[in-house]
Structures are given as C-alpha cells and as structure tokens.
A = this chain, B = another copy of it.
C-alpha cells in the first residue's frame, strides 16, 4: 500500500477546481504559493507513509488497553506523533502568531487528511488536540491560551472534547455533569462522560479536557450548559503540571474500528475533587463548542472521503495486478487469464468507488474553500452569503461522504474478494474505521434534521435559494456540448428539488412539523446527490476544458474524470428522483408505524 491518495486528483481539486492559489493574492496568505502548499502536502505524505502507515494494522490488532493502572499504547504511536509534532503538523493549521503555518484551511485539510488515510487511529490524537486548542484560541482568556493552548500546540499537552454522557449521547440538553462554584472562581466538576477519545494515555505530559457541564442552578436543556477546562494534572504557579486532578479513567470502550484512538469513559470528582475553570461565559458552552462545528463536521466528511480514497486506490492497484478469469467472449480455457480490472463488473466496483470518493472529497474541499473565503472576505453581504452556503452544505458534507465513502470501502473489499475479507489487506480495516463516521459528530439522522428542519428553512430559505442559484450558475456555465447531458440532468434534478422543497416548506408553515420532517433522511440523500452531481459537473467542466491540450497520463486523468462524472450522472443521480417522489407524497409510513407493530 504505497499509494494512500491520488496526488494527481488532489492537485486537480486544489488548483484546477478550487483555485486555492488565488488565495495567495490575499494578505493573509501572501507568504504562500503553490510550491509551499505542495511542500506541506509532500511532507505530510512522506511522514504518513514513513511513520503512520507501517503500524496501522498492528495498532488495530493491538489496541490500547488498560491494566487497571495505566493505558498502554504500542510505542510506534508515540514515535509517529513525535515526528508529526517535530515536523510542525500539530500547529500547521494555526496562524503564524501561534507558531502555525497560516495555511488556507483547504490546504491544511487536504494535507492532514493524508494521515487519516494512512492510520486514522494514530491521527486521532493530534487532530483532537488541534481542535481543542482551536477552541481555546477562540474562546479562552489570554492566560488560558498561554497556560493550555500553547503547550498543546507545542505537542506537550494533548486535548479532548468531553460532550456525551452515558445517558445522553445525541441529546446534549440532557447532560448532568455538575459544575459547583468554588470561592476562588474555579469549579468542582462531578459527573461522568462517555465516548471520550484520547481521554487517558501517557503520550503527553498532560491532557486538557474541554468539558460541558451545568453550573448549579443553570436553566434546563441546552441553555444551561457551560464549558470548562479540566486538566489531567492541575498546573502549579510556574504553569507546569503539578497535581493529579480528580478526573479518572472509568473504563475503555472497545470499538469495531478506529481502534488506535483510545476511547474512554471518564469520571469527574467521584473520589477526589476535580477542578475546572470556565471557558467563555456561563451557559454559553454549547455556543462555544459549536462555534467550530462547521469545520468539525466538514472534517468528519473529509476523513470519510480519505478513508474511501485509501480503499479505492488500494483496490485499484490490486485489480491491476491480480490475474483471474477471462473476457466473457473468450472460449479457450487454456488462454492466459486477464487482470481482473479488465472485467466489466470490476470496473463497475472501481468506477462507483471513484465517483463516491472523488465526489465526496470535492464536496468537503469545496466547503473548506468556503471557510477560507469567509476568513478573507470583508464585504458583509458576500461574507453572509458564504456563511449561508456553509450552513446548508455542512450537514451534507458530514453525512454524504460518511454514507457513500463507507459504501466505497465495502466495494473495495469486494474487488479483493476473499482476500479483502482478511486482515492481511487494509481494506477491511478501512471499512471498519469508516463505519464510525455516520455516527459521531452528530449522527446522520441528526444531520438530516439539521438540514431540513433548520438550514433549508432558515431566514425564509435564504441559504437554500443561494445554493440553488449557485448550482444554476454552474449549469449555465457548462455550455460545452460534451457536458450537455450532465447539465440537463442536473437542471431537471434541481427543479425537482426546488418543487419538493417548496411543498415541504408549506407543510412546515402549516404546523405539521413531524410530517414535514418525517423523511428528512431521504431529503438529505436527495439534496446530497444533487450537490455531489453539481461538484461532478464542475469537475467535468474543468476536465473537459483541460483535455483540449492535455497529453499522455494527463489526458487519461481528465478522461477518467469525465467517465466518473458520467457514471455519477447515469448510475447515481437518478436516486434523487426516488427520494423526491417519497417527499412529494409526504409519506408517513415510518412516522405512523405503531411501536407494537414492530
């Protein structure tokens, strides 16, 4: 497995489709050019291949374990993370004032995603740390940034996000962890947290837990949740770790995949005092935590697409080198077998993967590009538009790749047949790893409710209308005759989506909320397929225009893009119509199912 992702495809997405180089004209990114972007991606790929990939299977087989005293993690993880930190990747996505590279988010996402493709388990630790540090950057005080964020960015402390509780997974309004005010302005935390990745280990000097809890007397529900820093070791006067704090490991969760990222149950203040300090204002914890929610959710979609890419590339290489069977028209059983990539049904398995993973990656990087644009756009109306697009695209960017790139991983196994079902090949591990992505960071069911119940209807449908206008603009721009079929299919599908959405909006307006949302998941899949078709149309347009002068491998690459687009439009986009029929009918089959009839 020497190819994790297709660098040619990544270059196509970054430079041809999304023109990230144009960001370098902005003062914020003026220090960069394509050479520095490629340098970061090269370095990430090298390190991922050298230090992350080689122990991925071993870490999966020998997952972190708890002996009652300590959590043990195979040595290769620390070695890989030390190299990652030394190479500056932990802070790479931060601004130079924090020691980072001040890269566009699009570029850092693409570069760091390579580590997920190599070894999602090991990559989990620094990703979580960077996310926690980013939260402190945005909402911490200067002192909190100095005492916690800086050692995190230096790789000395690692971070976690502590949201879920055993009785409240998706329902954050029901969390019960208490925060009891102390005389010194700090809090004592008492409670239990579930699904905490990186919650206990000895990979770093300290662990900075960012914990959602209720200050005594706070309002019920999501309006009474505050955010706290709870370090594993409390800091002394010199800001160095001094005393063990009362946060304790209650147990490990043993997962189907992503096994390398230790996943914990933590108890706070059960036997000894557990001290935390408030971040941001009281009762604003969820707002703080969700400030970077778009990025976190795009990150899940990107991880899913990267895992899908890794499986696709691996199964493609396998199919090109595995001889078996003969063309259907070959009669002579003594003729030599062909490589399985020659069989039409194997081509189907590969083309479907390609359509999913390159479509999913394009969507996530498109969203990342919007994040970058938002950061440099000063015109308020333009900024608002970008925000609207991000709001409506984020649940799709999270859910669509996590559904369909998981499907891609399933197909990669099928290409390898029995071999793919063994742990000697990475494809089954990628499939197990990717199964997490439809679940965490808001299940896909919750993404669907967020999309239809909130994003589509918000501000009188402003985000939806803007998205439709953008898609229409790109349909109009796709005026080459070779793109006519795609443009026309997308135009029809989009019209259907608009009609269905108006009908749903009137259902919502009439107060039938349950009925309006009864097929939210079908809505997400419908709009998701239309959005990914839009991304494929854009890719096809780039490829078509580049093909005029391309030669050799480049010409084959663009031809492949056009083929994958054709596959998506013919084999996948028609799914949207099926969902639309269901939504148009306001089908209540699921909603009205009596529990007793199951």
Residues on A lying within 8 angstroms of B by beta carbon are 164, 167-171, 173-174, 194-195, 220-223, 253-257, 316, 320, 323-329, 333-334, 337, 339, 341-351, 354, 410, 413-414, 417-424, 428, 431-432, 435-436, 438-440, 443-445, 448-449, 453, 513-514, 517-518, 520-521, 553, 556-557, 559-560, 563, 566-567, 570-571, 574-575, 577-578, 581-582, 585, 587, 589-591, 593-598
In this complex, what residue of B is CB-closest to A354? B598
Give the distance in Å from the alpha carbon of A453 to the alpha carbon of B320 in the complex. Answer: 25
Contact of A593 among B320, B323, B351, B581 (CB under 8 A): B351
| Contacting pair A417 B598 (CB below 8 A) | no
Give the distance in Å from the alpha carbon of A171 to the alpha carbon of B330 in the complex. Answer: 13
Min CB–CB distance A135 → chain B (angstroms): 21
Give the distance in Å from the alpha carbon of A153 to the alpha carbon of B288 in the complex. Answer: 67
Min CB–CB distance A260 → chain B (angstroms): 14
Give the distance in Å from the alpha carbon of A174 to the alpha carbon of B332 in the complex. Answer: 12
In this complex, what residue of B is CB-closest to A194? B418
| Contacting pair B589 A581 (CB below 8 A) | no
Contact of A169 among B324, B350, B557 (CB under 8 A): B324
- Additional A-B contact list (4), CB under 8 Å, known A256-B421, A414-B439: A194-B418, A350-B593, A350-B598, A432-B432
Give the distance in Å from the alpha carbon of A557 to the alpha carbon of B594 in the complex. Answer: 11
| Contacting pair B325 A171 (CB below 8 A) | yes
Given A337-B171, A413-B435; A587-B559 close (CB under 8 Å): no
Contact of A418 among B169, B220, B581 (CB under 8 A): B169
Given A195-B418, A255-B423, A422-B255; A589-B575 close (CB under 8 Å): no
Contact of A170 among B325, B328, B351 (CB under 8 A): B325
Give the distance in Å from the alpha carbon of A337 to the alpha carbon of B594 in the complex. Answer: 18
| Contacting pair A514 B575 (CB below 8 A) | no
In this complex, what residue of B is CB-closest to A572? B578
Contact of A345 among B348, B445, B575 (CB under 8 A): B445
Given A254-B422, A423-B255, A587-B570; A598-B328 close (CB under 8 Å): no
**In the assembled complex, which residues on chain B have CB atoms less than 8 Å from the CB atom of A435?**
410, 413, 421, 428, 431
Given A221-B334, A556-B594; A329-B513 close (CB under 8 Å): yes
Min CB–CB distance A544 → chain B (angstroms): 14
8 closest residue pairs by CB, A with B: A221-B333, A560-B597, A256-B428, A345-B445, A348-B590, A220-B334, A556-B596, A559-B597
Contact of A567 among B253, B255, B590 (CB under 8 A): B590
Interface of A is mostly: helix
Min CB–CB distance A351 → chain B (angstroms): 6
**In the assembled complex, which residues on chain B have CB atoms less than 8 Å from the CB atom of A168?**
324
Q: 27 A–B contact pairs at CB < 8 A?
A: A167-B323, A169-B417, A171-B324, A194-B418, A223-B333, A256-B428, A320-B595, A328-B517, A339-B595, A341-B595, A346-B445, A348-B521, A348-B590, A351-B589, A351-B593, A414-B438, A414-B439, A417-B443, A421-B439, A556-B594, A556-B596, A557-B597, A560-B598, A571-B582, A571-B587, A574-B581, A577-B578
Give the distance in Å from the alpha carbon of A422 to the alpha carbon of B195 in the complex. Answer: 10
| Contacting pair B582 A570 (CB below 8 A) | yes
Identify the interface centre among A423, A443, A589: most chain B CB within 10 Å of its CB.
Answer: A589
| Contacting pair B589 A566 (CB below 8 A) | yes
Min CB–CB distance A165 → chain B (angstroms): 11
**In the assembled complex, which residues on chain B have CB atoms less than 8 Å from the CB atom of A453?**
328
Identify the interface centre among A348, A419, A421: most chain B CB within 10 Å of its CB.
Answer: A421
In this complex, what residue of B is CB-closest to A258? B421
Min CB–CB distance A186 → chain B (angstroms): 27
